């Protein structure tokens, strides 16, 4: 009972984090084709600058390989330093263009230039107050996803279907970051206003039908619903919806 109550409190805290970010990272503004080679993001889930990059990845429907680098982490921080020369995050590696980029503003500018062919829209441009609001957003979630915790390491990376503004998905990403578990982040942002709202009670009444031909449509065809977070673990064959169930699975399987 206490565990379930605590989970609901964490969800409310995550809602506050999304609110401080003005719910960016929910809607897709321009779906772009996935590049031939996956993007790699060395990332700290609780870092407000990393959050800005993940918001844009959602907005462009771009998937990315997340290599978590929490404070005190021993798995990917040294690798990030070897790749870019320093332990600073976010760090984006685009294997398609051999680009290695620090600084959230520079990464966001690169993503729009390279994959959309346009300048950064005003909605995603940096504002002087964003670092303050971003830090408040991280504090609202008790800085989960900031520091490493002990746990087991899977042989293969996991797969998570998510979008940045989802309060439920954030809880799973926080735990994956703390455990330093690498994963492919499959962004599944909302493609139309009719998709706004929780999966079981969207604003538009009636049966849910995703826009034909999109990533959500492909997910719907495979699973019969569109709901995040959704986790697949190739190490065990486990496939799970619902943040609470996923959190329990990660604890039982990988500790922490």
Question: What is the DSSP track for 173-208?
Answer: HHHHHHTT--EEEEE--B-SGGG-S-TTS-SS-S--
Please name which of 92, 104, 227 lies closest in space to residue 166, comparing C-alpha atoms: 227
pLDDT of residue 197: 73
pLDDT of residue 18: 94
Q: What is the pLDDT of residues 194-226, one digit of tens each?
A: 777 776 666 677 788 888 999 999 999 999 999
Burial of 120 (0-12, 13-18, 19+ CB in 10 A): middle
Q: CATH classification of 2-188+228-254 is 3.40.50.2300, yes or no?
A: no
* C-alpha to C-alpha distances, 88 to 48, 58, 81, 108, 228, nearest whole angstrom: 13, 22, 8, 16, 29
* Segments in the chain below pLDDT 70: 1-2, 199-203, 256
Integer Cα distance of 151 and 180 in angstroms: 8
Residue 191 CB contacts under 8 Å (≥ 6 apart), including other chains: 27, 28, 31, 210, 211, 214, 215, 216
Residue spans of the domains in the chain: they are 2-188+228-254
Tokens of 113: 């230039």
pLDDT of residue 203: 66
pLDDT of residue 5: 86
pLDDT of residue 206: 77
């Amino acid at each position: 009972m206490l565990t379930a109550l605590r989970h609901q409190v964490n969800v409310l805290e995550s809602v506050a984090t999304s609110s401080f970010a003005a719910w960016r990272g929910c809607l897709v503004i321009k779906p772009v084709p996935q590049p031939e080679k996956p993007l790699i993001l060395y990332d700290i889930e609780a870092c407000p600058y990393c959050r800005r990059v993940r918001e844009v990845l959602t907005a462009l429907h771009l998937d990315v390989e997340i290599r978590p680098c929490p404070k005190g982490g021993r798995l990917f921080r040294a690798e990030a330093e070897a790749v870019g020369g320093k332990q600073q995050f976010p760090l984006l590696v685009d294997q398609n263009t051999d680009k290695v980029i620090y600084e959230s503003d520079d990464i966001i500018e690169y993503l729009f230039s390279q994959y959309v062919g346009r300048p950064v829209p005003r909605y995603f441009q940096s504002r002087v107050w964003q670092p303050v609001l971003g830090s408040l957003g991280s504090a609202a979630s008790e800085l989960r996803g900031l520091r490493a915790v002990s746990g087991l390491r899977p042989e293969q990376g996991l797969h998570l279907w998510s979008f940045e503004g989802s309060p439920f998905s954030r809880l799973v990403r926080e735990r994956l970051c703390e455990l330093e578990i690498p994963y492919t982040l499959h962004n599944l942002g909302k493609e139309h206003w009719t998709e706004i709202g929780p999966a079981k009670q969207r604003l538009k009444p009636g049966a849910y039908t995703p826009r034909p031909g999109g990533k959500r449509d492909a997910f719907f065809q495979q699973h019969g619903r569109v709901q995040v977070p959704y986790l697949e673990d190739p190490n065990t064959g486990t496939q799970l919806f619902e943040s609470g169930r996923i959190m329990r699975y990660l604890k039982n399987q990988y500790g922490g």
